[in-house]
Amino acid sequence: MKSKRILPYLLAFVLVVLVPTQVYAIDFEISEVRIDAQLDADGTAVVTERFTYEFDDDFNGITRSLIAKDGTTIENFTATENGKPLRVEMEDGVYQIHRKGDDGDTIEIDLNYEIKNAVEKFEDGAQFYWAFFDESNESEYGDMTISVTPPSPAENAEALGYEEAFGTERITDDGAVLFELGSVPDGENADVRAIFEPELFPAVTATEGTVRDDLAKDREELENEAAAFAQNQQTARNIGIPAIVIAGALLLGGILFAWMRAFKRKRQIRNYPYEFFVPKESMSIPALLAFTNSALLSPNAISAAILELMRKGNVRQLSEDHFQLIDRKTDHDHEATLIGLLFDRIGDGSEFTLGQVEEFTKNDLNHPAYNEAIAEWNKGISHEVKAKGFYEKHPAMRWTAGILGGFFIGLAIYTGIYKLFPAMFFSIVFAALALGFAVAYSPITFDGLEIRHNWRKLKAAMQDLPEAQWNHLSPDDKQRAYAYLLGSDLKTAERKARIFTSANTAADGSSFVMNPIFMTAIFVSAGSTTTASASGGVAGSGAGVGGGGGGSGAF
């Protein structure tokens, strides 16, 4: 019966699962709602609503939106708590009821208002047909009851609920109508319709035509829709649940196989006997850092990259903060990008100082150029790593996972339409798992794992490496090892700085006569300054609705 309305909420649910969103400003629950519409003989509905709020935050009050139907007006809105009047303000069509409270408070607020021209009178009956909330409502109601009471006892009352109110109606002995909705999710519609004898409303002008046949026709259609929905729901249960189980087992089996294969490869490498050594040169130090440590390089990786350029003879250090360009010819594009930033944009084309870096990044106008150059530098490093071919493709396995992901999305939609929410939930989980596997599954090759293992072992060993063992390394190995350590473990690099610099005097053009920790502090500061100016906020948006309805909230 409600299948037409399920799909938008299913898609919204998927977005909530997969995309981070803002939380409400106030955390609360509406545990109970009692709405009593007392109908007067002149067709006015005198409404009393009691809302029970349970708060998990400090709060300033509650809100209530009321949307009148065409031809009706809402008047004399007031709010009380235990008979004490509360201040009410209207803002953007929403009533704000001011009542401050603390985290953990439970409050009961009574709202009172009148709906003018609420009753429509026809030849065979007078009806009250109203929506007290609609799909614009953003709050879930824990337990809702709506009562509609005629001016005097009715002998021939009829009632029908629509959408969330369908099947909840009950007529009492005195002709009053109760709609016992129970729990109502947010974003749902629910119209209530009650018909009484027309003579109970003598002051209401009658309209030609009848209304009871219309209600009977609606009831028959809704019951037929409900029966068809129940039948289709059972079919969806018979098809969907086994499909989810079988396809889910295939997916989990494939992921388990892939994981065991990767684990076996890693375990083989971890079992290698280890004795401290500096691995042979296989890629640049920045690329090693991106591959073995983190693809998101920290600012201290720039210091490691400068050490690499010094080792290769592209750059000479003249003093602690003064550097000279010796050779523009580089092995990788990202090295040329870094030279362009430091020497051409910040320096004078042949030299730069750390002081110039600090001054350059203090100027907000330079931040876009600095960030763009660093982004290009990171992009070049990623290209170097990718070119090494350390990630396996496995297109067949990934395509299979992608197809399974699409299959689970279809199952989620199918089971969601027929309100099989547990099945829909597992379909969404499996869809996210399958699509994530299809996108991200690129296991590292044996050679790649070996390189990663060796460099990580080196970093761990250097934390407590004796000075004598360090001094036995060749100058080139020392320079590569220390540059890697500087880019991946700044604390250990700081402790090792004295040993490193004392072991390498200015014997040739590639020697280090520097304080790398000082240089790193400059680039960390530059990264923080330029990143802060690049951040910004995102504004939200709202929507309005027309027709009858409303909703509840808090502030």
The span from the CA of 41 to the CA of 43, in Å, is 5
Closest CA to 293 of 535, 500, 493, 519: 493
What pLDDT digit, counting tens, does each position of 473-515 carry?
898 998 898 889 888 887 777 766 666 555 444 334 444 445 6
Strand-pairing partners, residue 95, are 64, 90
Residue bearing tokens 């409900």: 226
The span from the CA of 300 to the CA of 519, in Å, is 8
The span from the CA of 487 to the CA of 302, in Å, is 8
Residue 425 near residue 11, CB atoms below 8 Å? no
Residue bearing tokens 């004796």: 466
pTM over 0.75: no
Q: Give the domains, in start order, of the chain with CATH numbers.
A: 3-210 (2.60.40.1730), 272-390+456-532 (no CATH)
What pLDDT digit, counting tens, does each position of 433-487 carry?
999 999 988 889 999 999 999 999 988 888 888 888 888 889 899 889 888 988 8
Contacts of 98 (CB under 8 A, 6+ apart): 60, 61, 86, 87, 88, 89
What pLDDT digit, counting tens, does each position of 84-112 carry?
999 999 887 789 999 898 888 899 999 99
Mean pLDDT by 10 residues, the chain (555 residues): 46 46 66 94 94 90 89 92 91 86 90 93 92 87 93 92 90 92 88 93 90 90 86 90 93 91 87 85 92 85 91 90 93 95 94 92 91 93 92 89 93 90 93 92 90 90 84 88 85 67 45 64 83 50 45 76
